[in-house]
């Protein structure tokens, strides 16, 4: 069932992103008087198509990992004399720039609309209250203490752990101090805390912004009750079911969920004898955790099960909601922040501050799409918005075969007054194909390594 949900979720996500992207190209091309021959979502043989009154074929193809808009163009096929004025290559350089740029801009617009809808509908989050500070950590040396609520990071106000993580990720590679403001309670004034860092989060895979500073978020006590059990994983094979409560492991009582997690992580491949409460029954089950390697090379155990959610106290919940007009500015601001974050991540990956193993391909995207869909509409829409921004940024990179590569050629043409030579474009095309192919293979390789 999980695999089916992942596949359906990624089809919905990619379908929306590709459709918006290609519609941007299509809409501006039509406004510039270009004849569009085909608008295809997906590659390969069409499984559905129809032709509109303008002669454009709209198609859905079998391979949903991309799409394209095919325009009338003398460089691709002979064009009848009476249609030359509708050919893409006959349009002014600024019209061609507008048509090519419209795809990524449509993805930015989709992200803004998604964030706007979230801000208008309102999102519920938990207050960023510190649960534990690791001794001799940057947080401990700064004086940050348990129970304090973090209200700003590097001068930017924050209202949730997600916002804190976004602020911290933007400072990968920093050396010096990270400035926090935190307060003891809602009625007290915030105090400033300076957390010393050196090469912050450099080459961590995956980055752990809070743990690296010695901060553990506060959370309510979670009883060791299973909320989900993944088919085919060790927990399901042992006979565990959602709603089961783990009472003891190898005869030792389990008081809360993290007690059970600690035992599992420390016992890869070992046999664990569980005492389980299922309704009024008491069961004895045998569980053998699987083994998974972490970045240090050590192996940890996992069972493929999650804890049953508990209700957070009202004083720890925060609702973020804006009116329709105010939400526009907030949505544009969030889109801008995520764009800068994505560009920064690309730059830091190129200079070696971020490990290339953080690249994600279709498998990881499918897993994340499925996970966010199961979590709820809010998480799914947030993921859709971020993926739309990522697609826009990547397409604007000045790499031939991508929109950014075409824009580079057209801007050069606008400055020089004549097009880039066909030979130079052909060489660039080969280089671009090699780069994009290499990135796709790397992303797929790291996907398979995560899956393994």
Annotated catalytic residues are 22
Measured distance CA(102)–CA(424) in Å, rounded: 25
HSE toward the beta carbon, residue 264, CA cutoff 13 A: 24
CB 116 within 8 A of CB 331: yes
CB 98 within 8 A of CB 28: yes
Residue 188: partners with Cβ closer than 8 Å, 6 or more residues away: none
DSSP structure string for 44-72: EEEEEEEE-TTSPEEEEEEEEEEEEEEE-
**Phi, psi of 226, deg, nearest 5:** -80, 130
Q: Tell me how many degrees the CA angle 440-385-109 measures, rounded to the nearest 5.
A: 105
Structure tokens at 230: 């993944």
Q: How far is CA 269 from CA 260, 264, 303, 446, 451, in A?
A: 15, 10, 10, 24, 18
Determine how many CB atoms are found less than 10 A away from the CB of residue 303: 25
HSE toward the beta carbon, residue 359, CA cutoff 13 A: 19
HSE toward the beta carbon, residue 123, CA cutoff 13 A: 21
Structure tokens at 431: 């280089």
**Quick one: which of 274, 388, 421, 420 has its CA closest to 18?**
388
């Amino acid at each position: 069932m999980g695999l089916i949900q992942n596949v359906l979720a990624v089809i919905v996500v990619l379908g929306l992103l590709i459709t918006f992207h290609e519609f941007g190209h299509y809409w501006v091309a039509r406004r510039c008087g270009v004849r569009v021959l085909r608008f295809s979502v997906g590659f390969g043989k069409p499984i559905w198509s129809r032709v509109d009154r303008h002669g454009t074929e709209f198609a859905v193809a079998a391979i949903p990992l991309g799409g394209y808009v095919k325009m009338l163009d003398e460089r691709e096929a002979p064009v009848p004399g009476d249609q030359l004025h509708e050919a893409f290559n006959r349009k002014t350089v600024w019209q061609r720039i507008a048509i090519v740029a419209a795809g990524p801009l449509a993805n930015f617009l989709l992200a803004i609309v998604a964030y706007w809808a979230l801000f208008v509908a309102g999102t519920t989050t938990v207050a960023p209250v510190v649960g534990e500070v690791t001794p001799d950590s940057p947080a401990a040396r700064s004086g940050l203490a348990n129970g304090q609520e973090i209200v700003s990071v590097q001068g930017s106000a924050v209202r949730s752990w997600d916002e804190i993580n976004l602020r911290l990720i933007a400072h990968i590679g920093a050396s010096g101090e990270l400035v926090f403001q935190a307060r003891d309670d809602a009625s007290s004034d915030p105090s400033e805390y300076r957390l010393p860092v050196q090469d912050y989060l450099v080459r961590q895979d995956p980055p752990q912004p809070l743990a690296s500073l010695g901060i553990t978020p506060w959370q309510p006590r979670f009883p060791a009750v299973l909320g989900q059990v993944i088919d085919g994983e060790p927990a399901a094979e042992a006979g565990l079911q959602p709603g089961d409560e783990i009472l003891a492991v190898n005869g030792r009582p389990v008081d809360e969920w993290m007690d059970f997690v600690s035992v599992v992580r420390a016992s890869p491949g070992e046999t664990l004898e569980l005492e389980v409460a299922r309704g009024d029954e008491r069961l004895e089950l045998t569980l053998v955790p699987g083994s998974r390697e972490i970045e240090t090379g050590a192996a940890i155990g996992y069972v493929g099960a999650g804890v049953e959610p508990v209700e957070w106290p009202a004083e720890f919940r925060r609702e973020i909601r804006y009116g329709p007009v105010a939400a526009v500015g907030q949505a544009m601001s969030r889109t801008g922040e995520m764009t800068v974050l994505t560009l920064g991540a690309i730059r830091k990956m190129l200079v070696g501050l971020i490990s290339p193993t953080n690249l994600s391909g279709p498998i990881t995207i499918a897993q994340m799409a499925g996970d966010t869909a199961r979590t709820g509409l809010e998480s799914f829409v947030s993921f859709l918005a971020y993926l739309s921004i990522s697609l826009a940024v990547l397409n604007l990179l000045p790499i031939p075969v991508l929109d950014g590569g075409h824009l580079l050629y057209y801007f050069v043409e606008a400055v020089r007054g004549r097009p880039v030579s066909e030979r130079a474009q052909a060489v660039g095309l080969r280089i671009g194909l090699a780069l994009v192919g290499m990135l796709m293979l790397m992303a797929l390789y790291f996907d398979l390594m995560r899956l393994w």
